[in-house]
Structure 1
Amino acid sequence: MIKQFILVILVLPFLTIKAQTKVGHITLQYGEEIIEDDEKIVRISTEFNGKIYTLASRKNKYYIKVFESTEMSLVSTNEIELPDMKGKDLEFEDLAVIADRIYVFGSVYDRKEKISNLFGVEVALDGKLSNNVVKLFSTKVTKRREQGAFYFKDSPTGDRLLIMHATQFNKEDVIQYEVKLLDPNLDTAMEYIEKVPYEDRRGLEFTIADFDVSFDDDVFIVINESFRDRKSMTNNEKFQVLCFKSSNNYEKEVIDIKFTDKEIINCEMLATGSGKLHLAGFYSGVRKNGKAKKDLRGVYSSVIDVNTNEVEQLKFNEFDYDTKVKLIGERRAKKGKDVKPYYLTHSLIEKEDGGLILLSEYQLVVEGGTSGIGPLAFTPITYINNEIIVTSLGVDGSVEWSNVIPKKQRASFTVLSLGLFGFSGNGNFTVSGGIMVPLSVMGKGPEYLSAMPIYENGQLTVIFNDNKKNYGVTDIEDIKWLGNYNKAVPVAVMFDDKGNMTRLDQEKVEKYQLVLRPRVYHRKTDKDYIIYSSRKSEDKIGRMTIGR
């Protein structure tokens, strides 16, 4: 009797997680099929106390779906019904986890007071919302169209949440942004608000290039200003990091990163546990008349010592010829043409030797003609995510190697025109964060696109969905489009320490197999991920393990 009981316990894990897919050294295993799958999972938030908590959406409504960790079976589906404030419904903004406490955030615009408000509501372990509502932001704005938007960043330690509200006042010629750092009780540990006038700088391009929080709960904001002085025929570039350190009571400190004859296009920031702040991204050149170009000339890298605010390193690296050939073709590369600015920073990874790996992906969002009237108008949207530029930077900021992951992906869908993308920029003001996909379009196709970077034991592997006709293809000129993502297969590319790329294809593709959603996952460790895959009406969550 005892032996039989032990046998059941040993066999159970293999009975509960049946489906398995192998791509090289990557194994994907899935749990039970989600029977109640009308709600599509758009985020896997956390796993603790034997439960997996996810965010799902259906017809502009949002839900918290809770799964059991071992069998990955659905425990409950809970609609997020936010309370009303002064007779107005809260509009869902985001879901975040702070030290294993789950919170839902909702906003409401007070038309009478002209205030943009943000509230936080804690989620109980069963996935239901509590009655405790905390007001977090109450920001004065000018009107509904200028109420701005909220942006969220998790801390690397998981016990803080950084929130930014940003907007532009067109008539007042003012840009305003406000940041707050919250603890697990939603108490404010740090806050800062600034108004940037630009009346005397009509050509100002102001970008909040990135913002983040460090292991030490320090807050950093990267500001990029570009202004052309028509009288002097010069382009003035201001590239700054605003520091708010916990050890200095969050007093504002400004770090200027100075350079000439170049313009910063975008920025990805990484604060490491060693007290260094890394910045990397693309830059462009400046014409003889002083006007900045917008095409990409290469990759820059900068390192700042957080303790002294010293800019220890700033290096600009032009694209090498081989990389440009892969991106724009041999004919254009020979003519010295620059790369088009369609590449957004995807990921910034710290290597074991202290250097960096920057991934930048081609992304284009095409909006079609609108049909219908007023709020019932519909707009066709196409997301295009193509090749990824992989750049390995040494400790000194120079390029050690560069390569290009060849892929062509697109997904088309139709959405209500009103409030499609929310607020990410308006005219000369932009809030940038690399590749950002609004929650409102997740679940409609873009989640199948892009890629998952994995860095483990000093080796970079990138997994993505591909057309099965591309089996074994590494030449970017021969890559076929992935149009029907329901027929996609997982593919991985692996890089050695010299940048040589090896493509890993699935050995045996099964008919009607599940399709990975690379934009929906939760990283537990460098070797273990929680993933979500589906195909038409079949949905499952699972685990992806590396090197087993």
Structure 2
Amino acid sequence: MKKTLYTALMGIVLCCFSGNAQTKIDKLSINYGEEITDDSGKIVKIIGEANDHIYTLVLKGKSDYSLKIFDSKAMKLTSNKPIIMPEIKDKDVDFEDVFLLNDKIYVIGSVYHRKDKVFTLVAIGVSDKGILSKDQITLFESKVARSSDRGGFYFRKSPDERMLLVMHTALFDKEDAMKYEIKLFDENMNQAFFTEDKVSFDDNKKDFQFTISDFDVNDNDDVFLVVNEGYRDNKKKEHVEKFQLFLFKNQNNYTKEVVNIDVTDKEIINCKMLSTNNGIVHLTGFYSSVRESGRANWDLKGVYNATVNLSGNTVGNLVFNEFDYATKVKLLGERKAKKGRDVKPLYNIHSIIEKNDGGLIVLSEYQTVYVGQTSGIGPLGFTPITYTTNEIIVTSLKPDGTLDWSNVVPKEQSASITVTSFNLFAVVGSGNFRVGVSLTFPLGVMGKGPEYLSAIPIYSNGELNIVFNDNAKNKGVTDIEKIKSLGNYNNSVPTLFTFDDKGNITRKDPDEIVKHQVVIRPGVYCRKSANEYIIYASRKSQDKLGRMFLD
């Protein structure tokens, strides 16, 4: 009898443990829900949390999407509904994305009408049970030049998650022009704002580049667009840089306002925008030096920061911070750093964080995408793609934009996948025009490996923390010269890097490695507050949702 009772009690304890497994790394704790036994694909996006449920997007195979809904408290699967896209004019609608706006869910899809040369975007409402509406709301009907230049759609949610900002860009080769359209939609998919423009190209300008660097919307429903245009004046032997912020303020009935940011003898490489609650817009990114001939070097010289005050549209500080010697040694090695070499342009802005003192922390990650040679014929072809995300440059800026400190997070990560077709229509630029909107992994390749890469930044109580997957052999290692590559991400372990107010790194690793433990997927998470995140973790066939907390 005692043996039977003991066995029963142990069964209950083990059941509770497996259903509420926990991972602890110093002040970081993760509580997992039940294992997801429904083997119908991998979660590629945590859409959000509402009505006591967590909504997720799941992909199985090439393009079979579904909505998995979980109970918020137990993180237990309650339903799994396939996303069956409708037809418009006898053409299948292609899945684009799904968004949660003020507790309302919408699936977004697109369809190209070859005869009319129109690229259509539609929104389809979804019930809280995951059932798609039979009605579609047309968001865009964009005229394009041809199928191969149909362009793409880009999305931004407002910080309060009430509004959806959508931009479409497309090339018009014969006109040497790029057209962009931007619209803002509320939670009912009613259009609140619209603007469009067609930017022409001048063949007489040398080294001409026009870039839509970033676009965004704030809690006041103000819309922002950053563009920069650069070229070389051959006669004057100088580089001309036209760096502008377009403002469309809600209180001004969205009348277009233009702020010019004067840049001389430098080339703006990229830009990411952050609008703060005190009416300041920060523009930050990388810049390069310019030769005496006026030709830009294109390598990364350092990080710049510009501020624009929305109350008067005035430009505040414009500061260019060169990479310091210590940072260059970590990125290039001592020999190249001593020679004054610049950093290769292989880093993309991962995220920008506003510090408690009003300054910024800029995270820039080494990111490359290698597309191999396609084998096979036509739609049966197979294309290998390798995603690499290595070290992260962490740059802390003071409120006036000057450098506070910088450091480098050492890591080497890569994931290779094979796709049956490569989407050429989603190219972000061509020739002299680029759309530099932040690089993310496409939904179509998530669930196959890239989601294990990159990192999750957490800024809480004035302190920066970075969580990522690493090789277990790197335990305790912060020297970039000694770091080992991730290898098999299924066997990786989470690590926590913490930065003090001087930029010094403290690394924390798990006390012991638990075999067959699920692995965090940094490419799939949802931020709930400054120190709480909903995450997704898996290992081979095991899958779990979890909540990650920073004490």
- Fold match by TM threshold 0.5: yes
**Which runs of no fewer than 5 residues in structure 1 stay unpaired?**
1-10
CA distance in 1, matches of 2:204, 2:473: 53
C-alpha distance after superposition, 1:373-399 (max 9, x if no partner)? 111111111111000000000011100
Structure 2 counterpart of 1:110: 113
CA distance in 2, matches of 1:21, 1:99: 32
Structure 2 counterpart of 1:58: 60
Structure 2 counterpart of 1:3: none
- Offset at 1:200? 4.1
- Offset at 1:201? 4.8
Give the share of equivalent positions with the same residue, in percent.
55
- Offset at 1:482? 0.4
> Which residue, 95, 99, 103 being the options, matches 1:100?
103
Q: Please tell me whether the aligned partners of residues 244 and 258 of structure 2 are also in contact (alpha carbons under 8 angstroms).
A: yes
Residues 67 and 338 of structure 1: is their aligned pair in 2 closer, same or farther, counting only changes over 3 Å? same
2:393 counterpart of 1:378: no
Residues 536 and 52 of structure 1: is their aligned pair in 2 closer, same or farther, counting only changes over 3 Å? same
> Which residue, 43, 46, 51 being the options, matches 2:45?
43
> Which residue, 148, 151, 156 being the options, matches 2:154?
151
2:536 counterpart of 1:498: no
Structure 2 counterpart of 1:268: 272
Matched residue SS, 1:440? helix
Residue identity in the other structure for 2:32: Y
Q: Please tell me whether the aligned partners of residues 19 and 35 of structure 2 are also in contact (alpha carbons under 8 angstroms).
A: no
Residue identity in the other structure for 2:154: Y
> Which residue, 452, 458, 465 being the options, matches 2:456?
452
2:299 counterpart of 1:307: no
Q: CA-atom RMSD, angstroms?
A: 1.5
> Which residue, 410, 420, 429 being the options, matches 1:406?
410
Residue identity in the other structure for 1:231: K
- Offset at 1:401? 0.3
- Offset at 1:234? 2.4
Structure 2 counterpart of 1:419: 423
CA distance in 2, matches of 1:392, 1:194: 36
> Which residue, 25, 28, 32 being the options, matches 2:27?
25
Once the two structures are overlaid, the 10-residue window that deviates more, 299-308 or 197-206, is: 197-206
CA distance in 2, matches of 1:166, 1:229: 27
CA distance in 1, matches of 2:453, 2:43: 15
Q: Please tell me whether the aligned partners of residues 215 and 271 of structure 1 are also in contact (alpha carbons under 8 angstroms).
A: no
Q: Please tell me whether the aligned partners of residues 180 and 197 of structure 2 are also in contact (alpha carbons under 8 angstroms).
A: yes
Residue identity in the other structure for 1:118: L
C-alpha distance after superposition, 1:228-266 (max 9, x if no partner)? 233333221111001000011001111000021000111
Q: Please tell me whether the aligned partners of residues 148 and 425 of structure 2 are also in contact (alpha carbons under 8 angstroms).
A: no
Structure 2 counterpart of 1:511: 515
Residues 385 and 517 of structure 1: is their aligned pair in 2 closer, same or farther, counting only changes over 3 Å? same
Q: Please tell me whether the aligned partners of residues 156 and 214 of structure 1 are also in contact (alpha carbons under 8 angstroms).
A: yes
CA distance in 2, matches of 1:420, 1:24: 45
- Offset at 1:13? 12
Residues 419 and 154 of structure 1: is their aligned pair in 2 closer, same or farther, counting only changes over 3 Å? same
Aligned pair count reads: 537
> Which residue, 233, 251, 268 being the options, matches 2:255?
251
- Offset at 1:49? 1.2
Q: Please tell me whether the aligned partners of residues 62 and 80 of structure 1 are also in contact (alpha carbons under 8 angstroms).
A: yes
Once the two structures are overlaid, the 10-residue window that deviates more, 14-23 or 70-79, is: 14-23
Residue identity in the other structure for 1:499: G
Q: Please tell me whether the aligned partners of residues 180 and 196 of structure 2 are also in contact (alpha carbons under 8 angstroms).
A: yes
Correspondence list, 1:16-415, <5 A: 17-59=19-61, 60-201=63-204, 203-415=207-419
- Offset at 1:311? 0.3
Correspondence list, 1:406-485, <5 A: 406-419=410-423, 422-485=426-489
Matched residue SS, 2:263? coil
C-alpha distance after superposition, 1:168-224 (max 9, x if no partner)? 111211110000000011011000000001144554211111100012110000001
CA distance in 2, matches of 1:163, 1:242: 16
C-alpha distance after superposition, 1:311-355 (max 9, x if no partner)? 011000100000000000000000000000001000000000100
Q: Please tell me whether the aligned partners of residues 106 and 118 of structure 1 are also in contact (alpha carbons under 8 angstroms).
A: yes
Matched residue SS, 2:451? helix
TM-score (norm 2): 0.95
CA distance in 2, matches of 1:370, 1:15: 47
- Offset at 1:17? 4.1
Q: Please tell me whether the aligned partners of residues 421 and 438 of structure 1 are also in contact (alpha carbons under 8 angstroms).
A: no
Residue identity in the other structure for 1:538: Q
- Offset at 1:483? 1.8
CA distance in 1, matches of 2:434, 2:395: 25
Q: Please tell me whether the aligned partners of residues 16 and 71 of structure 1 are also in contact (alpha carbons under 8 angstroms).
A: no
Residues 404 and 164 of structure 1: is their aligned pair in 2 closer, same or farther, counting only changes over 3 Å? same
**Which runs of no fewer than 5 residues in structure 2 stay unpaired?**
1-12
Matched residue SS, 1:291? coil
